[in-house]
Structure 1
Amino acid sequence: MKKTLYALLFIGVLVVAVVASGCIGGETTTQPTSSPTQTTTTTEEKKVTIVIWHAIGPNELKAFEDLIAEFEIEYPNIDIQLEQKADLETSLKAAIPAGQGPDLFMWAHDWIGKFAEAGLLEPIDEYVTPEILNKFSPMAQNAIEYGGHYYAMPYAAETVALIYNKDLVPNPPKTFDEMKAIMEKYYNEAEGTYGLATPMDPYFLSGWVHAFGGYYFDDKTKTPGLDKPETLQGFKFFFEQIFPYVAKTQDYNAQVSLFHDGKAPMMINGPWSIPDVRNAGINFGIVPLPAINDQQRPHPYGGVRLIYVAKLTDPSKKDAIWTFLKWFTTNPDVIKTLSLQNGYIPVLTEVLNDPEIQNDPVLYGFGQAVQYAIPMPKSPEMGAVWGPVGTAITDIIAEKKTIEQALQDAQTEILDALSGG
């Protein structure tokens, strides 16, 4: 499932949540109103079976199976059954209302809005205390909440960062001015070299838009923000300060190939791109996108991997379910294993600060980038946003429209879609 989160962005229109940031109208994390239920499993209790549906790839599944085996030794009265589903979303939407769904399922946080609004999730507010929340990165804290309730627990995240070729850039840029100087140095279109390789779509441009307080969609007000001056400022920054140094193509493979072939010293991409970077023999490093100035820095969209609690038909299992969720998501040894074996970026702060993780350039580099990321909007309405924003970017690149006109047209199209027009 290495590419799952990124792939979701481009199969139709997807996705999900904005963090509690004044610049994008994010939501305030909801605090639980009751104390958590104490959960312990003893040999006197009857055995409980917890079924988990997932779509995890075979290369990543073994780590989960091994960890679950450890859990079952520690909690012998709780049996965990992993079941893979080829079409997880369709299966869940059919099974849960019929009372035949799983207890838990695993997917990115982009489903939380539509599943919660459909009544397919079980709130776990009584367990998610401030102490639990504070164990995780801000993006992860935000991702598990929707409409004032907590429905899931986080275990990993993804976002984009600046991947640089150490043979061309011995010292990574700490500021945008330094990044621009590197782009200027290596850009020579006549010789086929560029200052930066970057895919150009709503996901990859989001960091620059958010840097200035702009946004595509406000999860709290459920309104698009393409007509906001801050959004316009972010788009202008990208197209005036970055776009001149990149290849004028939106083809993902064409962009990343420039970095693989040594024709660009830096690339903006996510952890899913690292296997190909390694295969290309690039001596690389990873750092967060550099700050523009003291007040503004890029905040790219990110995705969080969650374990959701499906609407329960047997509430008596809830304590056992929480016992597993807490063990799996707040146990540093578990998260460290997933990070080292599967390359998952930890959202558990204790693991991110672990010396072994910090010595891994990929885990630590993207882990630092996650600290600045904003979770993709969680509302179902976000499905009406990705397409028009993508079209706006394409029209700007093709010089069919000015930045102002492209954004205004996107705003109008989104509003029409949201109003049923």
Structure 2
Amino acid sequence: MKKGLFALLLVGVLVLSVVASGCISGGGTTTSPSSTTSSPSTSPTTSSPSSTTTSSPSPTETTTTPPETDCGSGEIVIWHAMQPNELEVFQSLAEEYMAMCPGVTITFEQKPDLESALKAAIPTGQGPDLFIWAHDWIGKFADAGMLEPIDDYVTDDILNDFAPMAVDAMQYKGHYYAMPFAAETVALIYNKKMVTDAPTSFEQLESIMSQFNKPDEEKYGIAWPINSYFISGIAQAFGGYYFDDSTEMPGLDQPETIEGFEFFFQHVWPYMAPTADYNTQQSIFLEGRAPFMVNGPWSINDVKKAGIDFGVAPLPPITKDGKEYWPRPYGGVKDIYFAAGIKNKEAAWKFVKWFTTSPEVIKELSLQLGYIPVLKPVLDDPEIKNDPVIYGFGQAVQHAYLMPKSPKMSAVWGGVDGAINEILQDPENADIPAILQKYQQQILDNMNG
């Protein structure tokens, strides 16, 4: 990065963000994923100007285009729902690209309701060249004919540079439609004044939770929002799943899924404040009333504002019958999609390739916005490894369960949340197997119309 650009980037506020779905979204994340009948959004969007065009450098500036830079020419229009701090960094990177490629203009357009805008515009030929969102839109948009394949551009040398989860996130039914640039999932955030080091086993975690749990004083062992997204790690820890992308079938009635739900309500719920509410659970941690919180990168800015000396680590493994089971929370990947009807595919591809495969770009996104990199050279970068937040969530991503891409997943979220809400009516006495079987059938009914 040029010295001037790097200084400009440092002006941006450091906020960790698409998810989703995973629960990750394409925009920034500042509040919680909420229960929903479709993919849970980890990033409510905020309105910003409807269109921001990043112009080329002034003619008085001198730039050098490396001989290997093949830029193309023309305008590239990108729709997004990013937070302002994210957009500032993206624009700065686009300005650097345009300094190298003066024949290219990159225009970012904010769409507060990105999905509706895309569905209205793409079929009429009025859509963008590219749009930014989480990978879990890839199935429904591809099935609707609203994505442009990039199979001719994606080569093995490109794929080999990405983490496996990212490669999976850019394809659907044998075609590539997007390029990945970051990932996210939930992890264990701990208060170092209360707990010096992250627990290395769930048994150790539960022991610490029990020590701090004092409900009469409104102090608890852990702060953990409860909905289908947030407890997915434990629900899927023993090999169970909400939905299998390969068979397109729900799995709430699977013995392993039932075991995961029972484990959560037997070994986590007793140490929690009796509420599923995201804001309440987060406040408990921010106020120093719990040593642990399970949350995503989007929560870190609030943790820092609270002045908490904190660490981040994966949810620790559960040992059962001599075998180790890692919690598998849903993970999401941020993608840049190619829209059907793209007007400048060649130039768009060259920009996206530069943006997603340049270690300098991805490292800058990580350092400035806390994005978890999926590009292998950046994952191995010493500066990234030394960042406790990026490294902690990066380790958590290694155990994540990629959020399903099939459009049929939209019928699953509501069913899982329905089951959770029924269990929460009486967690100590709930017939969890019967409840999960009930909602398994409900999901199947909804999927079959």
> TM-score under structure 2 normalisation?
0.83
Are the structure 2 counterparts of residues 41 and 134 from structure 1 closer, same or farther at C-alpha, using a change threshold of 3 Å?
A: closer
Segments of structure 1 that go 5 or more residues without pairing to the other structure are 17-38
Q: Of 344, 348, 370, which residue of structure 1 is paired with 2:375?
A: 348
1:178-217 → structure 2 map (5 Å cutoff): 178-217=204-243
SS of equivalent to 1:367 = helix
**Range that drifts further, 60-69 or 399-408:** 399-408
Are the equivalent residues in 2 in contact too, given 1:137–1:371 (CA < 8 A)? no
Cross-structure match for 1:410: 439
Cα shift at 1:41: 6.3
Distance of 1:12 and 1:266 partners within structure 2: 25
Alignment of 1:303 onto 2:332 = yes
Cα shift at 1:40: 7.0
Q: Of 178, 181, 184, which residue of structure 2 is paired with 1:152?
A: 178
Are the structure 2 counterparts of residues 392 and 42 from structure 1 closer, same or farther at C-alpha, using a change threshold of 3 Å?
A: closer
Cross-structure match for 1:365: 392
Distance of 2:413 and 2:219 partners within structure 1: 30
Alignment of 1:13 onto 2:27 = no
**AA partner of residue 373 (structure 2):** P
1:385-400 → structure 2 map (5 Å cutoff): 385-399=412-426
Alignment of 1:53 onto 2:67 = no
The percentage of aligned residue pairs carrying the same residue is: 56
Cα shift at 1:4: 4.5
Q: Of 110, 113, 117, which residue of structure 1 is paired with 2:139?
A: 113
1:133-172 → structure 2 map (5 Å cutoff): 133-172=159-198
Cα shift at 1:191: 2.6
1:116-127 → structure 2 map (5 Å cutoff): 116-127=142-153
Distance of 1:181 and 1:41 partners within structure 2: 56
Segments of structure 2 that go 5 or more residues without pairing to the other structure are 1-14, 26-32, 41-66
Cα shift at 1:115: 0.4
Q: Of 364, 376, 391, which residue of structure 2 is paired with 1:337?
A: 364
Cα shift at 1:211: 1.4
Alignment of 1:267 onto 2:297 = no
**AA partner of residue 191 (structure 2):** N
Are the structure 2 counterparts of residues 77 and 41 from structure 1 closer, same or farther at C-alpha, using a change threshold of 3 Å?
A: farther
Cα shift at 1:121: 0.3
Cα shift at 1:313: 5.0
Cα shift at 1:42: 5.6
Cross-structure match for 1:283: 309
Distance of 2:34 and 2:367 partners within structure 1: 28
> TM-score under structure 1 normalisation?
0.88
Distance of 1:62 and 1:56 partners within structure 2: 10
**AA partner of residue 352 (structure 1):** L
1:194-273 → structure 2 map (5 Å cutoff): 194-273=220-299
Q: Of 105, 129, 133, which residue of structure 2 is paired with 1:103?
A: 129
Distance of 1:10 and 1:138 partners within structure 2: 28
Distance of 2:213 and 2:229 partners within structure 1: 24
Distance of 1:159 and 1:42 partners within structure 2: 35
* Residues 208-233 of structure 1, C-alpha deviations (whole Å, 9 max, x = no match): 12211101111111111011111111
Cross-structure match for 1:23: none
Are the equivalent residues in 1 in contact too, given 2:17–2:370 (CA < 8 A)? no
Cα shift at 1:58: 1.5
**Range that drifts further, 82-91 or 172-181:** 82-91
Cα shift at 1:185: 1.6
Cα shift at 1:87: 2.3
SS of equivalent to 1:307 = strand
Distance of 1:150 and 1:40 partners within structure 2: 25
Q: What count of residue pairs does the alignment treat as equivalent?
A: 394
Cα shift at 1:266: 0.8
Distance of 1:198 and 1:10 partners within structure 2: 13
**Range that drifts further, 189-198 or 156-165:** 189-198
Alignment of 1:88 onto 2:114 = yes
Cα shift at 1:73: 2.1
